[in-house]
Amino acid sequence: MTHFGFESDLHTLLRLDAPILNAPPARWQRKARDGPAAPGPATLSPMKPSNRAHGAGRTPGRTPGKSASKTQSTPSKAGGDRYIPHRSAMQMEVANFLLTKENDDSEDTPTKKEQQKTWAVNLNGFDVEEAKILRLSGKPQNAPEGYQNNLKVLYSQKATPGSSRKNGRYIPSMPDRILDAPEIRNDYYLNLIDWSSQNFLAVALDNSVYLWNYASGEIIQLLQMENPDDYVSAVSWIKEGNYLAIGTSNAEVQLWDIQQQKRLRNMTSHSSRVGSLSWNSYILSSGARTGHIHHHDVRVAEHHVATLAGHTQEGDSGDFAPIQTFTQHQGAVKAVAWCPWQSNVLATGGGTSDRHIRIWNVCSGTCLNTVDAHSQVCAILWSTNYKEFISGHGFAQNQLVVWKYPTMAKVTELKGHTARVLNLTMSPDGSMVASASADETLRLWRCFEMDPVKKKEKEKAGSAKSSIIHQGIR
Amino acid sequence: MAKQQSREQGITLRGSADIVAEFFSYGINSILYQRGIYPPETFTRAQQYGLTLLVTADPELQRYLCSVVDQLKDWLYKCSVQRLVVVISSIESNEVLERWQFDIECDKTAKDESAPRDKSQKAIQDEIRSVIRQITATVTFLPLLETSCAFDLLIYTDKDLVVPEKWEESGPQFIANSEEVRLRSFTTTIHKVNSIVAYKKDSFP
């Protein structure tokens, strides 16, 4: 009952727009009228006569006067959870009059008129009483029949720009080759494959590293970790292709000579697993789970030359200092790649919670382009042969997508993997991409095959420079 | 035109009305051209305000604009006009798609005999030029008018004005669900013109 009473009180309070008939006067009105001289008896509910009789009896400890005055001042406390005025103290007619008068529109105050006017101006954009809208009689003017706004042509956009154009080259939709990769670790944060300039594909399968010679098809097991619980978490070839750096789960960075199939160095500086490696001539940068990136000068005994600490979780391909920090991605960012022909352009792909590929201008820090990939972006690689890049994805399609840059149009999708793509790596000539997937296969896609004519030209140009490339690292 | 330039000394009420009316003439022509209401081949080039503007060569449209601008000039002179609106609506559905609104603030204290205001013709022209340039520039963000459109000119005048022959009263013709962009304004010191373009919000976000 009390509950309903309170509710109806609230209701009446909220409905200020309608005149309230036979409603009790507002407390402040009654108070003003009655004055302190006539404090109403402290009753609790006019609806229950029994209650009225017990009104004073409810608080027997108090003197009647005190209790009455208390009820008057803070009725809600004295009378429980609500205040119910006494019917005999009400002047219904006066209250009704006062209340209806309050809501009567006929008696507008100047401020109210002002307000109405302002409303009118705001709503209609002009004051109805002060303006007249005129127009020349007749129909509105329009161009002669049959005229079509040809601006439409200027602005109309094809639904899929770029991609709908014939893209001029054939990309096989099937992988060129499928290799088994048993026990490949399904971990987003590892870098398990790398393709060397001497055409060796290094694959880390759990605790061993295999080398696959693309030219001969020969497979060599390069190493196996001594402790079966450890695993190889990153592989990276030096640019010249004669040394392989591996990162391990026990925080080591090892350097292997391929010719000799021997370990040259074991560099320990990290405190956690090394998930990414990157070479910059003789400086090897390693990113560990701790978020630290260490630079190792592999030529000297004191290999650890610098540390970068800016990440909170596993860093990736740490060959640059954080000059800019980008914060638009909503999830983990694993796929990061620098544009090979525009050195200030960086492509990044977000994880499951983000699913966007973003292109950044790192000089200005602006996001140049963004495209929703609709699935986790596990890896990004720029093509060196075309103005394109390829991204590897996770659930649901586990596909690879070739994108045109800068239009960001999809060139093609390469499907075949049955589990998410973990890593991508490109063949030395840039024509093939190897994808490692959690479905324990490696697939080689011939997606950036060059036009034979162009290829010859490039080879010619490349042979002139080859002497520089083959300089040793020492 | 020649009349204004002969008055190098300052701005009189009549001169101001001429300048503003002329601005509307060019402004409306620009809108009609830029928004593709009329075929572009029916426009000819004209040099004005240091810009190349396109003015209609369609005789019927010329006649219509002329009669409106002449009437407007008269009202500007009498300082009884408050606003000019170019309403662009779809012919098929009659729906208002775009509304170019030019609010005119008149200095009613200006009289014929009062001393000319001190503002150079060039300063005013510079201001007008930037407004016209903005009209041109807005085309880049205004939604494309997909259907063939008609336009209408509404003039908001003082309440006590006698409606001239051939004119009629109209509603404000607002756009439901519109977005507004305020453009620059210019002033002759007697008439101040503020421009706003309102357009129908794209239903696709």
Determine whether the interchain pair B152/A143 forms a contact, defined as Cβ–Cβ distance below 8 Å.
no
Most trustworthy range by pLDDT among A131-135, A195-199, A305-309, B167-171 = A195-199
For residue A259, CA distances in Å to A244, A263, A264, A474 come to 11, 11, 11, 16
Substitution target in A133, A137, A139, A153 with the highest count of B β-carbons within 10 Å is A133
Using the predicted structure, report yes or no on whether residue A322 has a pLDDT greater than 60: no
Using the predicted structure, report yes or no on whether residue B75 has a pLDDT greater than 70: yes
Question: A 138-197 residues with CB below 8 A of B?
Answer: 139-143, 147-152, 155-156
Taking alpha carbons only, the member of A226, A177, A97 closest to residue A435 is: A177
Determine whether the interchain pair A131/B83 forms a contact, defined as Cβ–Cβ distance below 8 Å.
yes
The topology (CATH level 3) of B13-200 is: Cell Cycle, Spindle Assembly Checkpoint Protein; Chain A (3.30.900)
Neighbour order of strands in the sheet with A252-257: A232-237, A243-248, A252-257, A262-268
Domain boundaries, chain B: 13-200
Gap from A131 CA to chain B (nearest CA, Å) = 5
**What is residue A106's predicted lDDT score, i.e. its pLDDT?**
53
| Rounded CA separation A253/A292 (Å) | 14
pLDDT top residue among A377 and A106 = A377
Determine whether the interchain pair A149/B61 forms a contact, defined as Cβ–Cβ distance below 8 Å.
no
Paired with A257 in beta bridges are A243, A262
| Rounded CA separation A199/A472 (Å) | 17
Determine whether the interchain pair A133/B168 forms a contact, defined as Cβ–Cβ distance below 8 Å.
no
| Rounded CA separation B60/B67 (Å) | 11
| Rounded CA separation A191/A175 (Å) | 21
pLDDT per residue over A136-193, tens digit each? 877 777 776 666 665 555 444 444 444 444 556 788 888 888 888 888 888 888 888 9
Taking contacts as CB-CB distances below 8 angstroms, the residues of chain B near A129 are 159
Gap from B111 CA to chain A (nearest CA, Å) = 22
| Rounded CA separation B78/B91 (Å) | 34
Determine whether the interchain pair B174/A125 forms a contact, defined as Cβ–Cβ distance below 8 Å.
yes
Determine whether the interchain pair A131/B82 forms a contact, defined as Cβ–Cβ distance below 8 Å.
yes
Q: How would you class A199 by CB atoms within 10 Å of its CB: exposed for 0-12, middle for 13-18, buried for 19 or more?
A: middle
Gap from A167 CA to chain B (nearest CA, Å) = 30
Taking contacts as CB-CB distances below 8 angstroms, the residues of chain B near A120 are none
Substitution target in A151, A153, A157 with the highest count of B β-carbons within 10 Å is A151
Substitution target in B65, B152, B197 with the highest count of A β-carbons within 10 Å is B152
Q: Please, are residues A213 and A222 in contact by the beta-carbon 8 Å criterion?
A: no
Average pLDDT of chain A, as a whole number:
73
Taking contacts as CB-CB distances below 8 angstroms, the residues of chain A near B157 are 131-134
Residue B199 has which token pair?
């357009």
pLDDT per residue over B85-105, tens digit each? 999 988 888 888 899 999 998
For residue A389, CA distances in Å to A39, A355, A385, A410, A426 come to 85, 16, 10, 10, 11
How does DSSP assign B93-143, residue by residue?
Answer: T--EEEEEEEEEEE-TT--TTSPPB---HHHHHHHHHHHHHHHHHHTTTSP
Omega before residue A85 within 30° of 0, cis: no
For residue A438, CA distances in Å to A77, A348, A418 come to 68, 21, 8
Total CB pairs under 8 A between chain A and B: 109
Using the predicted structure, report yes or no on whether residue A31 has a pLDDT greater than 90: no
Where residue A268 falls among pLDDT bands split at 50, 70, 90?
A: confident
Gap from A352 CA to chain B (nearest CA, Å) = 24
Most trustworthy range by pLDDT among A24-33, A94-103, A246-255 = A246-255
Q: How would you class B64 by CB atoms within 10 Å of its CB: exposed for 0-12, middle for 13-18, buried for 19 or more?
A: middle
Residue B18 has which token pair?
């001429």
Using the predicted structure, report yes or no on whether residue B25 has a pLDDT greater than 90: yes
pLDDT per residue over A417-459, tens digit each? 998 898 899 988 888 899 999 899 999 998 888 877 777 776 6
**What is residue A95's predicted lDDT score, i.e. its pLDDT?**
76
Gap from A422 CA to chain B (nearest CA, Å) = 35
Quote the longest CA-to-CA distance of chain A. 112
CA angle B135, B143, A366 (to 5 degrees): 85
**What is residue B26's predicted lDDT score, i.e. its pLDDT?**
92
pLDDT top residue among A159 and B189 = B189
| Rounded CA separation B4/B23 (Å) | 13
Determine whether the interchain pair B35/A136 forms a contact, defined as Cβ–Cβ distance below 8 Å.
no
Taking alpha carbons only, the member of A337, A347, A287 closest to residue A312 is: A287
Using the predicted structure, report yes or no on whether residue A347 has a pLDDT greater than 60: yes
| Rounded CA separation A235/A278 (Å) | 9
Determine whether the interchain pair B170/A135 forms a contact, defined as Cβ–Cβ distance below 8 Å.
yes
Work out the angle between the directed axes of helices B13-34 and B121-138 (0-180°, nearest 10): 20
Question: B 33-72 residues with CB below 8 A of A?
Answer: 35-40, 42, 61, 64, 67-68, 71
- pTM more than 0.90: no
User: Which 3 state secondary structure label does DSSP give A401?
Assistant: strand
Determine whether the interchain pair B148/A143 forms a contact, defined as Cβ–Cβ distance below 8 Å.
yes
Paired with B105 in beta bridges are B192
Complete domains list, chain A, with CATH: 189-322 (2.130.10.10), 324-461 (2.130.10.10)
Question: A 187-246 residues with CB below 8 A of B?
Answer: none
Residue A372 has which token pair?
């929703």
Task: Go through chain B and tell me how many residues it has.
Answer: 205
CB-CB: which of A136, A140, A141 is closest to B166? A136
Where residue A102 falls among pLDDT bands split at 50, 70, 90?
A: low
Neighbour order of strands in the sheet with A400-404: A377-382, A388-393, A400-404, A410-414
**What is residue B27's predicted lDDT score, i.e. its pLDDT?**
92
